[in-house]
Chain A
Amino acid sequence: MKIVVCIKQVPERDARLRIASDGKSVDTAGVATEINESDQYALEAGLRVAEKVGGEVVALLLGPDAAEEAIRRALAMGAARAIHLNDAGFQGGDASSAAKALAAAVRQESPDLVLTGLQSDDAGWSQTGVILAQLLGWPSATLIMEIEQPEDGRIKVKRELEAGWFQWITLPLPAVLTIQSGIYPVRYATLKGIMGAKKKEMKKMGPADVGVDGGQVGAAGRKVELKRLYVPEKTAEAEILEGDAATAAASLVDRLQKEAKVL
């Protein structure tokens, strides 16, 4: 079974972010990065399926040169090889244009299963994996919390719904699943794995290599434009209600009723 796992490199969760001079992006200089959290879980899920039924996991990443480190991490964790969609033509896109680039690469690989994270910790569109499925003409399911062994060309998965509800569904392969964080504990890249990863194949590809029209991907293919990125204005400090406990409580209730109208 061949499984493609789409991963993205993002700033570390607690990284301090600075807006770049263009006012539309984050200054990545000196910012520590990691594989997007839910993508790590997708990778873990993919490796588990491959280990159970046999087969290989191919890591697929769209990003600049600096994202190579994320690929190394994925290879160190156990991906067999990697494809790096790395070209100026891929940059500056939105979820839709990223999905088009990924879809082109997936078509060349024709895997049985594609896994992605639920959403990225940077842009956070939570769209790419699902768009990818539509572009491929494959079924998809999101928020996956468990994957069972495929049987008769269908795969059974557990989806998380809202309010503590879950759902078991099946869908025919090939399919795209977007993985919820926490599905299985993510393995650690071991020293052996990291060193072994250096020998694994990492293919760098541009739009022509994957056979996609340059006008469809990157900034040229986007349908949504980021006008401005900024630090949210600090909301005004709270109105502090003075007096002893009873007085303060009374004035709070009064304000909740009359000003905020929430009581």
Chain B
Amino acid sequence: MGAIWAVIQTEKGEPRGVSYETIAGGQKLAAALGKPLEALVLGAGVAGAAEKVAARKVERVRVIEDPKLDPYTPDPYTAALRLAVEAEKPDYVLFPHTYQVRDWVPRLAAALDAGFISDVVDLRADGGEPVFVRQPYQGKLNADCAFTGSGPRLVSFQAGAFLADDAAKGDASAEIVAQPVDLSGVEVRTQVLETFQEVENKVDLSRADVIVAVGRGIGKQENLGVVEELAAALGGQLAASRPVCDNEWLPMDRQIGSSGQTVAPRLYLAIGISGAIQHLVGMKNSGTIVAINKDANAPIFSVADYGIVGDLFEIVPALTAKVKEARGA
């Protein structure tokens, strides 16, 4: 019986948060299919990352360590995993659906002649053949997908599809084994010249755990302070719906929605946001959604878990106080 592999994406020698989500998804699939879950860490200088991953409930952690794997380029990554898969023959190989994964995993699928179900938000395995749920048509529809035929099966999970916190810890640290692959013959055709940040302090909302988003209801730029305080109290990032950014009350890189970023934090607070579909597509996969709006009929309440109807200028300061109180306690 083949194993399930959760491939860990690292950054500066650390596992990225989304990789734990992959483990959480892998644990769910492993439980459903009764197959062992293993983690696979690849890169250069990733021993530390492997140790961290070993604390989670996985059968073992395989490590592919090779200088050609740093910096990331698609050719050696594809070759490395192809060799490992061909050697070990796992049944499923799972990934986080990151920009990096999009860059090379389709190559791997083609190299292995494998099926690849990408950007999965959920999975079900009631009775044998697992079904992977995707959201095509920009999230407007759901699609149940399954693999046809044999061969290795590749799956990538959308950020937030599973919660990193749900990736159960193991009783003891899992065994860490080196996965030998020979990359000496692999030509690295891509040459990295320079990696840089375009905007200083540009926020990565997709990595935020907590997002406090503000909409047209804030009225004007001067009012943003109350929301900023709440974001600070929660240790979250400030974000906005389109009208706020269009008015230049907040920079564009804070915009959530179809013309901004898509996020799925653990906690999303929508404040003074009515919930136009353009906004909803960018945040509806968030873990817990709280809506504060004066219009009880605002569509945002249809995706929210909790709602408070009323004047945000009264509620937000009260909430900030309660959060501080709870955190202090």
Contacts and interface: CB of A to CB of B under 8 A. Distances in A.
Closest 6 CB pairs of A and B: A164-B202, A223-B115, A163-B204, A130-B106, A134-B110, A238-B307
B197 interface: yes
Interface stretch (A44-52, A74-82, A243-251): A243-251
16 contacts: A17-B137, A94-B115, A124-B138, A125-B118, A127-B118, A130-B105, A131-B107, A163-B207, A230-B142, A239-B306, A241-B308, A248-B310, A248-B318, A250-B322, A252-B319, A263-B327
B117 A11 contact: no
Interface residues of A, number: 78
A147 B131 CA distance: 39
Interface string A1-21: 000000000010100010100
B147 A223 contact: yes
A192 interface: no
B199 interface: yes
Interface footprint category on B: 35 or more
B291 interface: yes
B134 A167 contact: no
A133 interface: yes
B99 A143 contact: yes
Nearest to B203: A164
Given A162-B98, A228-B143, A240 B115 contact: no
Contacts of B290: 252, 256
Nearest to A247: B318
A95 B106 contact: yes
B192 to A, nearest CB: 5
Contacts, number: 257
Nearest to A227: B144
B287 A169 contact: no
A17 B141 contact: yes
Contacts of A250: 322
A164 B253 contact: yes
Contacts of A232: 135, 141-142
Nearest to A170: B191
A95 B288 contact: no
A160 to B, nearest CB: 7
Contact of A262 (B99, B146, B191, B266): B266
B206 A162 contact: yes
B203 A99 contact: no
Nearest to A139: B189
Interface string B85-98: 00000000000001
